[in-house]
Amino acid sequence: MPKLNLYEIRRQRGMSQTELAELANISHGYISELENNLKSPTINILCKLAKALDCTLDDLVDCD
């Protein structure tokens, strides 16, 4: 199953969940649920997150 590297990348960027939520136009609660593996993101959400974090989808999702 693919692993979401959201928490690691967000922390590397020195960003809070609230800052990321605002940049990606996603709720803070949803960011928290994603980081805690309580929700699975859609491709649209992944694209928003990658853009907000200035990373690629490959960086964001580890398929190994």
Question: Over 80: is that where the pLDDT of 1 sits?
Answer: no
CATH topology of domain 3-62: 434 Repressor (Amino-terminal Domain) (1.10.260)
pLDDT of residue 64: 74
Question: Over 90: is that where the pLDDT of 2 sits?
Answer: no
> pLDDT tens across 10-63, in order?
999 999 999 999 999 999 999 999 999 999 999 999 999 999 999 999 999 988
CA angle 40, 15, 54 (to 5 degrees): 70
What is the C-alpha to C-alpha distance for residues 53 and 57, in angstroms, rounded to an integer?
Answer: 10
pTM: 0.92
How many of the other CB atoms lie within 10 Å of CB of 1?
5
pLDDT of residue 63: 84
Residue ranges of domains in the chain:
3-62
| Rama region for 37: left / alpha / beta (φ>0; ψ in -120 to 50; rest) | left
* Phi, psi of 17, rounded to the nearest 5 degrees: -60, -40
What is the C-alpha to C-alpha distance for residues 62 and 48, in angstroms, rounded to an integer?
Answer: 17
